Amino acid sequence: MKKAHTLPRLAALALAASTLFAATASQAVPVTYRAVASGPAEDIPNGSPGSSVSTFEIDDMILRAEVPFRDLSAPAISAHIHCCTTDAFRGVAPIAIPFVDFPLGGRAGDYSYSFDLGDAAIYDPAFLTANGGTPQLASGALIDAFNANQAYVNIHSERYPAGEIRGFAVAAPIPEPTTWGMLGLGLGMLALYGRRRVMPPV
């Protein structure tokens, strides 16, 4: 009788473990990208002393942008994410996401903004249309380009309206050992519990 009751319990434990694993594995892992921008990195290189080391984090459907910049040769007039070039680290691409509330009129500043990739309004209309017409398809194209080094940040200035400094996004995934550690601990405890249930009484 005891063995008959034990088997359903073990099956329930196995189901719980697999459900826990599936739930954890399905969670999006935030990915960080860096973009080192300079004048020589423009498609037509220039001698700008300006620079920027931008950080982008994609967490599920949120794109967080941190874009500090300094030493532009002229006041900034706009800034964008451009996508998608044909080749990695080279070529030009149209505007994908304009930077909302970017600090214009200065040669240095800090920009921080969170974009909802599921919102059609954040995309340049031409980019949205060219990539399926929906934010889901457009975001997929953008993320693929980030991972393939075919998207870049470009800061435009009065002196270089086509772009004074730019830098391609480079993927740098951030591991989450805590998440996987907790999963391993949970599975271990489930296995230990199951083992105790199947041990014959002494």
Query: Is residue 2, in this structure, part of any structural domain at all?
Result: no
Map tokens 């997929």 to a residue: 140
Query: Is residue 15, in this structure, part of any structural domain at all?
Result: no
Start-end of H helices in 122-168:
125-130, 135-147
Query: Is residue 9, in this structure, part of any structural domain at all?
Result: no
Query: Is residue 91, in this structure, part of any structural domain at all?
Result: yes
What tens-digit pLDDT sequence spans the chain (202 residues)?
A: 555 554 455 444 444 444 444 443 334 689 999 999 999 999 999 999 999 999 999 999 999 999 999 999 999 999 999 999 999 999 999 999 999 999 999 999 999 999 999 999 999 999 999 999 999 999 999 999 999 999 999 999 999 999 999 999 998 754 444 443 444 444 444 444 454 554 555 5
Query: Is residue 109, in this structure, part of any structural domain at all?
Result: yes
Domain that holds residue 81: 34-173
> Cβ atoms within 10 A of the Cβ of 192, count?
10
Q: How far apart are CA 46 and CA 158, in angstroms?
A: 14
Query: Is residue 199, in this structure, part of any structural domain at all?
Result: no
Count up the domains in the chain and report the number.
1
Picking from 167, 143, 1, 9, the residue whose alpha carbon sits closest to that of residue 63 is 143
Query: Is residue 74, in this structure, part of any structural domain at all?
Result: yes
